[in-house]
Amino acid sequence: MSAEPVHTLADLENWSFAGTALTVIGRPVAHSLSPVIHNAALAVMAETAPEFSMWRYFKFDIAPEELPRALKLFHQKNFRGLNLTVPHKALAIEHLASSDAFVKAAGAANTLTHTATGWSGANTDNYGLSAALRQDLGLELKGADVILLGAGGAARAAAIECLRQHCNSLWIGNRTQPTLSALVENLKSLAGDIPVHGFDLTSPPTDLPANALVLNATSVGLKPDDRAPIDLQKIARPVAVYDMIYRPPQTALLRQAAALGLPTANGLSMLVHQGARSLEIWSGANVPVDVMQAAALNAAKP
Residues in the interface with ligand ATR (CB under 6 A) total 16
First to last CA, the chain: 8
| Nearest residue to the partner ligand ATR, using Cβ | 152
Q: Establish if 228 lies at the interface with ligand ATR (CB under 6 A).
A: no
Q: Establish if 175 lies at the interface with ligand ATR (CB under 6 A).
A: yes
CA–CA gap between residue 145 and residue 141 (Å, rounded): 8
Of 59, 72, 77, 89, which residue is the catalytic one? Answer: 89
Q: Establish if 170 lies at the interface with ligand ATR (CB under 6 A).
A: no
Q: Establish if 186 lies at the interface with ligand ATR (CB under 6 A).
A: no
Binding residue (CB under 6 A) for ligand ATR from 113, 219, 239, 262 = 219
User: What phi and psi, each to the nearest 5 degrees, are found at residue 61?
Assistant: -90, 110
Binding mask 44-63 for ligand ATR (x = CB under 6 A): --------------------
**DSSP state string for 173-224:** EESSHHHHHHHHHHHHHHHTTS-EEEEETTS--TTPPTTPEEEE-SSTTSST
Long-range contacts of 188-192 (CB under 8 A, 24+ apart): 190/105, 190/160, 190/163, 190/164, 191/163, 192/163
Q: Establish if 214 lies at the interface with ligand ATR (CB under 6 A).
A: no
Q: How far is the CB of 77 from ligand ATR (least distance, A)?
A: 28
Q: Establish if 128 lies at the interface with ligand ATR (CB under 6 A).
A: no
Q: Establish if 115 lies at the interface with ligand ATR (CB under 6 A).
A: no
Residues 244 and 215 sit within 8 Å (Cβ to Cβ)? yes
Nearer to ligand ATR, 117 or 203 (CB): 203
Nearer to ligand ATR, 134 or 175 (CB): 175
Which residues inside 243-302 make contact with ligand ATR, applying CB under 6 A?
none
Q: Establish if 183 lies at the interface with ligand ATR (CB under 6 A).
A: no
Q: Active-site residue 89, yes or no?
A: yes
**DSSP state string for 16-29:** --SSEEEEEEESS-
Binding residue (CB under 6 A) for ligand ATR from 151, 187, 228, 265 = 151
Q: Establish if 155 lies at the interface with ligand ATR (CB under 6 A).
A: yes
User: Taking Cα atoms as reference points, which of 95, 16, 108, 117 lies closest to residue 58?
Assistant: 16
Helix, strand, coil shares, percent, the chain, to 5: 45, 20, 35
Whether cis (ω within 30° of 0) applies to the bond prior to 87 is yes
* Span of 59-67, 149-157, 158-166, 251-259 interacting with ligand ATR by CB under 6 A: 149-157
Nearer to ligand ATR, 150 or 238 (CB): 150
Q: Establish if 85 lies at the interface with ligand ATR (CB under 6 A).
A: no
For residue 162, CA distances in Å to 81, 133, 171, 173 come to 27, 12, 11, 15
Q: Establish if 154 lies at the interface with ligand ATR (CB under 6 A).
A: yes
Binding residue (CB under 6 A) for ligand ATR from 40, 132, 220, 272 = 220
* Strand (E) or helix (H) holding 72: helix 67-76
Q: Establish if 78 lies at the interface with ligand ATR (CB under 6 A).
A: no
CA–CA gap between residue 292 and residue 40 (Å, rounded): 6
Q: Which residues bind to ligand ATR, rule: CB under 6 A?
A: 150-155, 174-176, 179, 201, 217-220, 229
Catalytic residue numbers, as ranges: 89
